């Protein structure tokens, strides 16, 4: 009997991953196919500006909800989930407005983003809406809608970016990104399984109750998430200050290249891992063996992707993107350690939430940011160091930090299994 239950759960997991994965695969194929059209339309400087925009939007989005959105999948009662959703939306609007207002202050740190403040604010709101909708669909196991939304997002953004070149040129990639996310948001609002009447009835008291229930999320997870986001965006933020915008654009395209296998696999299963791990813990079932198998599987996949990049990277990039983008291949190869790290990071992200390791995650995020900031600034202070070497050092450091993170999590899971 137990064998049948295990087989059923495994098959449910596989089917869920397949639904999310199919949408992600199609979306990534479309995205990969459209990159050559954009690189032949826009300048490298335009891609550099887009990289800076995406970095800032990502940082603000990482804390704008106070991470109440990540708790949406946890409550048993639907009303509590609606309260968290409404609380997340209200908090996001307030924090985003404040951040945009601050960016209008005439400080040197904001010089590179002049004229982009409002676009950044809208980008944050649309990004949060996309993430909230994805989590909402996952809560109700509407994996088909989640998969379709990824395709709608990629197609919408590409069409808008391609058309926007006629009107905005250098800023066309950014404006097109925002418009594409807007059309994706409209689709999500129309397709999302939500009872708007119940949503409107959620009171301030309901939101306050859930806010207190999940107070550890804003208390610990928000800061750590913001720091981790800042840490991942740190290279672009520093590069914008030290190197030409065109070179930042080439680096941004290289990051897109190494992100392809991560998005195809790790991002597709991250949410399913979260749900399955939470189910295992709630039912006092073992997690350690399952977790280790996930890590090994993801490492093998990342190793295969790395080999393909080493062997075929030059040919693919010069053929599809154009010879003027040849440096993107060199940068991508330097980023292979980061590719592996990002791939094996997914189970750890879920474990931190399921096992409520929020205090630890906060400390880890600070240590990670400190190491990366010190190393990058030290490398740039040397002046003559090769930019490719800077990228490689950053990628290796990122991988080492992720491995250390997983070792600690494995120790915690082992301790949990001894108590069940």
> Which pLDDT score is estimated for 8?
41
**Please, how many CA atoms are within 13 Å of residue 76, restricted to the half-sphere of its CB?**
2
Q: Are 299 and 343 in contact (CB under 8 A)?
A: yes
> What are the structural domain ranges in the chain?
22-214, 230-420
Residues 6+ apart with CB under 8 A from 103: 110, 113, 117, 120
> Which pLDDT score is estimated for 2?
39
Question: Strand, coil or helix: what is 350?
Answer: helix
> Which pLDDT score is estimated for 13?
53
> Which pLDDT score is estimated for 228?
78
> Which pLDDT score is estimated for 182?
93
Of all residues in the chain, what percent are helix, strand and coil, respectively (each to 5)? 90, 0, 10
**Please, how many CA atoms are within 13 Å of residue 145, restricted to the half-sphere of its CB?**
22
Cα–Cα dist 395/163, whole Å: 35
Beta strand spans in 58-217 (E): none
Dihedral of CA atoms 12, 15, 20, 25 in degrees, nearest 10, equals 150
> Which pLDDT score is estimated for 250?
92
Cα–Cα dist 208/358, whole Å: 21
> Which pLDDT score is estimated for 396?
96
**Which two tokens mark 16?**
């869920």
Mean pLDDT per 10-residue section of the chain, whose length is 420 residues = 43 57 75 86 92 93 89 83 91 95 87 87 93 80 75 93 90 94 87 81 89 84 81 88 88 86 70 79 84 90 89 83 86 93 88 82 87 91 83 94 93 84
**Which two tokens mark 366?**
């600070």
> Which pLDDT score is estimated for 70?
82
CA angle, 83 as apex, 79 and 89 as ends, to 5°?
145
């Amino acid at each position: 009997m137990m064998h049948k239950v295990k087989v059923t759960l495994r098959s449910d997991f596989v089917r869920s991953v397949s639904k999310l994965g199919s949408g992600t695969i199609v979306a990534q194929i479309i995205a990969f196919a459209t990159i050559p059209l954009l690189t032949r339309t826009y300048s490298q400087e335009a891609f550099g500006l887009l990289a800076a925009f995406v970095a800032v939007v990502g940082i603000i989005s990482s804390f704008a909800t106070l991470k109440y959105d990540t708790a949406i999948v946890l409550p048993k009662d639907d009303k509590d989930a609606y309260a968290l959703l409404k609380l997340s939306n209200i908090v996001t609007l307030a924090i985003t407005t404040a951040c945009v207002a601050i960016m209008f202050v005439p400080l040197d740190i904001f010089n590179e983003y002049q004229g982009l403040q409002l676009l950044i604010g809208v980008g944050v709101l649309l990004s949060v809406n996309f993430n909230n909708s994805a989590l909402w669909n996952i809560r109700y196991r509407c994996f088909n809608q989640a998969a379709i939304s990824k395709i709608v997002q990629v197609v919408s953004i590409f069409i808008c970016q391609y058309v926007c070149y006629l009107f905005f040129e250098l800023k066309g990639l950014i404006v097109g990104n925002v418009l594409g996310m807007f059309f994706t948001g409209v689709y999500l609002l129309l397709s999302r399984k939500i009872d708007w009447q119940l949503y409107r009835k959620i009171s301030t008291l309901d939101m306050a109750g859930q806010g207190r229930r999940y107070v550890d999320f804003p208390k610990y997870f928000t800061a750590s998430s913001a720091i981790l986001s800042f840490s991942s965006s740190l290279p672009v933020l520093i590069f914008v200050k030290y190197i030409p915008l065109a070179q930042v654009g080439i680096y941004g395209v290289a990051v897109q290249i190494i992100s392809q296998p991560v998005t195809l696999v790790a991002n597709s299963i991250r949410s399913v891992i979260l749900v399955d791990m939470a189910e295992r813990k709630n039912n006092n079932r073992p997690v350690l063996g399952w977790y280790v198998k996930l890590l090994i599987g993801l490492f093998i996949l990342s190793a295969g992707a790395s080999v393909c990049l080493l062997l075929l990277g030059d040919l693919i990039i010069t053929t599809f993107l154009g010879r003027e983008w040849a440096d993107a291949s060199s940068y991508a190869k330097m980023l292979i350690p980061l590719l592996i790290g990002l791939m094996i990071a997914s189970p750890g992200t879920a474990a931190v939430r399921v096992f409520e390791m929020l205090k630890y995650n906060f400390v880890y995020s600070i240590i990670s940011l400190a190491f990366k900031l010190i190393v990058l600034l030290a490398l740039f202070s040397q002046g003559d160091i090769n930019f490719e070497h800077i990228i490689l050092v950053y990628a290796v450091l990122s991988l080492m930090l992720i491995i250390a993170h997983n070792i600690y999590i494995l120790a915690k899971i082992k301790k949990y299994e001894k108590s069940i």
